[in-house]
Amino acid sequence: MSARTADVVVIGGGLHGCSTALHLALRGLKPILVEKDYAGRHASGVNAGGVRQLARHIAEIPLSIASMAIWENVEELVGDDCGFSSHGTVLVAESEQELAGFRARVDDLRLRGFSHEELIDHTELKRLVPAVSDHCPGGLVSRRDGAADPFRTTQAFRRRAVERGAEVIEGVRVTGLARNGSVWKVETSDGPIEAPKVVNAAGAWADRIAAQLGEPVPLEVIAPMLMVSSRVPAFIDPVVILRGRKLSFKQLANGTVVIGGGHLAVPYRDENRTVLDWAKLATSARTVWELFPAMREATIVRAWAGIEARMPDEIPVVGPSRTSEGVFHQFGFSAHGFQLGPATGAVMAELVATGNTNLPIDGLGIERFST
């Protein structure tokens, strides 16, 4: 059987892989995206949908800001508004001590030239989030932040990528890759594909690709849990997050409330399965119970977890392979990759096409894990 050929093989049909495929196609290249399940099956399709610049690691901020600009006009890029709406993200301080830490963060960001995070006092906090418990002295806000529908977003990027010339193959697994001169031969469960360039956007499975290339990474498979309530009357606009206690909290337009925050289920990545940890979900429930008394009698309808990858330093791997020319990595977004999807795809396409990127990705390279 003769191999199919492409300019680039993208491994993984999460939002990142789909975004990269789209941006490659927009540059006139022919990518083939290979996805073992279907686009958005895992974390990309079932995450909390937060589109957040707030409280990010310094190394990610340029990517996050570039992404925000795409999110605000996402319909122009993909022909679908992705359910995006912007009511800001608020990081609530539960004590004066915590608020002082936020103040130092804002000062530090200003020195670095970033102004998207803003310190707010109790009055402004109550104006933005009237339902929040009175014990909270203030917080941080990023006013342009918002939320989107994760599965719809991933599907929209996938669809537009195909419309622009990308090929998306679903239900097909990458089983190996080897270099043959200047061409990579990607073996799949549906036959080989040859291309000079490969993008590893395989999420919780990306370490297996990296290991094949001789650059193993300490990737941890995680499954952050979420739960959703039945519909309750509208009472909160922004996404609310906590740092001291793990919580993210958001009411959707249909009235349901999505509660997350990073408590983890037990993932079984080879079975596409997760087992929820109710003791930890109960902790989330208690936090909501204390912070939003209005939610106490709300009904929890469903809980779930999506499988994804976390790196030890909780920032992603973005950039060229250290060992293998023509291969680029895009994984390990450590439970906060959804917002970064649009711009990271553009950066990857630029890297693949030109070998460089105008947007700084310093500190995100795979070489940080070489020993």
Partner 1 sequence: MNAVDLAPSYDLVVIGGGPAGLAAASLAARAGVTTVLFDENPGVGGQIYRGITSTPVINRSILGEDYWAGEALANEAKASGALIVNGATVWSLDPERIVGVSIAGKARMIEARRVIIATGSQERPFPIPGWTLPGVMTAGAAQTVLKAQGLLPDGRTVMAGTGPLMWLLAAQILRAGGRLEAILDTTPRRNLLRAAPHLPDFMLSPYFAKGLALLREVKAKVPVRRVASVAAAGDGKLSEVVSDRGRMPADLLLLHQGVVPNVNLALAAGATHEWNERQLCFQPVLDQDFSSSVPGIAVAGDGAGIAGGTAAAERGRLAAIAAVRALRPEARLPDPQSVRQRLQREEMGRAFLDWLNRPADSFRQPEGETLVCRCEEVTAAQVRATADMGCEGPNQMKAFLRCGMGPCQGRLCGLTVTELIATQRKSTPAAVGYYRLRPPVKPITLAELASLPISEAERKAVER
**In contact, 366 and 329? CB cutoff 8 Å:** yes
Q: Which residue, 114 or 304, has its beta carbon nearer to partner 1?
A: 304
211 lies in the binding site for partner 1 (CB under 8 A):
no
Dihedral (C-alpha) 283, 284, 286, 288: value to the nearest 10 degrees? 170
Does 126 contact partner 1 by CB under 8 A?
Answer: no
What angle do the packed helices 341-354 and 150-163 form, to 10 degrees? 30
Residues 136-195 that bind partner 1 (CB under 8 A): 151-152, 155
Q: Which of residues 215-254 bind partner 1 (CB under 8 A)?
A: 229-230, 254
**Smallest separation (angstroms) from partner 1 to the CB of 335:** 19
Are the C-beta atoms of 49 and 120 separated by less than 8 Å?
Answer: no
Q: Which of 13, 40, 88, 203 touches partner 1 by CB under 8 A?
A: 40
Nearest to 364 by CA among 314, 327, 326: 314
Distance CA 29, CA 16 (A): 17
**According to the binding rule CB under 8 A, does residue 304 interact with partner 1?**
yes
CA distance 149 to 203: 19
The dihedral built from the CA positions of residue 30, 36, 41 and 45, taken in this order, carries a sign that is: negative
The candidate with the shortest Cα–Cα distance to 82, out of 165, 19, 142, 23, is: 19
Site for partner 1 in 45-104 (CB under 8 A): 45
Count of beta carbons in the 10 Å neighbourhood of residue 4: 17
Nearer to partner 1, 135 or 296 (CB): 296
> In the complex, what is the shortest distance from the CB of residue 320 to partner 1, in angstroms, rounded to a whole number?
34
Nearer to partner 1 among residue 107 and residue 163 (C-beta): 163
* Residue 311 C-beta: closest distance to partner 1, Å: 24
Taking CB under 8 A as the binding criterion, the range among 38-46, 87-95, 129-137, 236-244 that sits at the site for partner 1 is: 38-46
As beta bridge partners, residue 257 has: 251
Q: Exactly one of 65, 119, 183, 300 binds partner 1 (CB under 8 A); which one?
A: 300
Minimum distance, C-beta of residue 265 to partner 1, in the bound complex (Å): 10
Instruction: Print burial letters for 196-223: b (CB count within 10 Å at least 16), e (below 16).
Output: bbbbbbbbbbbbbbbebbebebebbbbb
Of positions 189, 275, 354, 358, contacts partner 1 by CB under 8 A = 275
Where does this chain bind partner 1 (CB under 8 A)? 38, 40, 45, 151-152, 155, 229-230, 254, 273, 275-276, 278-279, 281-283, 285-286, 288-289, 295-304
